[in-house]
């Protein structure tokens, strides 16, 4: 039940915004190798009832400071640190606390060998979805090499494209 609904949201995002996702992501990203712009990531956000879906597609460079296989202990630690940050998305894209959103699914792919994009997606179940007003963005403080996030937003009442940056970190839902 849950997983099928999660997939439907993915398809919505994919169909609505024609962005790489899930199974298609790896193939698209490899073809698009170095088509990405370092410093600029993509964030897809969908709200459907009590479900909040967040999907991040970011150049590996922005999260790691390099875009090749880790060759030193420091680089291996950087990969571990980035993965740990991505596994705690509540600090990167925090839903309004009053909405009571609890993370129910997490998916992270880091394939730095090819300098493809890092991919992370999250699903939250929100107890009080009407209280969900915004995402509080900690992404740029966590990953200082990231300069911008292009956001595609899809809610039951709104479809919008906007851009976040260290100077403008408001993401109203
Ligand atoms: Zn690159």
- Distance of CA 146 from the midpoint of ligand 1 (Å): 12
Q: Residue 146: is it exposed, middle or buried by C-beta count within 10 angstroms (0-12/13-18/19+)? A: buried
DSSP string, 108-169: EE--GGGT-EEEEEEEEEES-GGG--EEEE-HHHH-TT--EEEEEEE-SS-EEEEEEBTTB-
Confidence (pLDDT) at 114:
74
- Residue 112's pLDDT band, with cuts at 50, 70 and 90, is confident
pLDDT tens, residue by residue, 139-164? 999 999 999 999 999 998 889 999 99
Distance 67 CA to ligand 1 centre (A): 6
Mean pLDDT lowest among 6-10, 71-75, 77-81: 6-10
User: How many structural domains does the chain have?
Assistant: 1
CA of 33 relative to ligand 1 center, distance in Å:
7
pLDDT tens-digit map of 10-40: 555 555 444 334 333 443 444 445 678 999 9
Q: What would the DSSP string read from start to end of 40-70?
A: EEEEEEEEETTEEEEEEEEEHHHHHS--S--
Q: Which residues hold their Cβ within 5 A of ligand 1, which is an ion?
A: 59, 67, 115
**51 is in which domain, residue-wise?**
2-172
Average pLDDT, stretch 128-143?
96
10 Å Cβ neighbour count for 7?
A: 12
CA of 37 to the centre of ligand 1 (A): 7
CA of 87 to the centre of ligand 1 (A): 22
Structure tokens at 133: 């007003």
CA 71 – ligand 1 centroid, Å: 17
d(CA 105, CA 85): 15
Is there a contact between 74 and 64 (Cβ–Cβ < 8 Å)? no
């Amino acid at each position: 039940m849950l997983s099928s609904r999660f997939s439907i949201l993915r398809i919505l995002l994919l169909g609505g915004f024609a962005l790489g996702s899930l199974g298609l992501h790896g193939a698209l990203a490899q073809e698009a190798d170095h088509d990405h712009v370092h410093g600029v990531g993509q964030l897809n956000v969908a709200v459907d009832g009590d479900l909040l879906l967040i999907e991040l597609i970011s150049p590996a460079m922005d999260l790691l400071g390099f875009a090749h296989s880790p060759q030193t202990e420091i680089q291996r630690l950087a990969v571990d640190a980035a993965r740990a940050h991505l596994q705690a998305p509540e600090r990167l894209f925090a839903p309004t606390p009053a909405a009571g959103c609890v993370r129910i699914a997490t998916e992270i792919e880091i394939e730095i060998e090819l300098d493809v994009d890092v991919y992370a997606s999250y699903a939250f179940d929100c107890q009080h979805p009407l209280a969900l007003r915004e995402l509080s963005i900690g992404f740029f403080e966590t990953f200082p090499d990231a300069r911008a996030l292009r956001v595609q937003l899809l809610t039951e009442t709104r479809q919008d494209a906007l851009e976040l940056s260290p100077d403008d970190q408001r993401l109203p839902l």
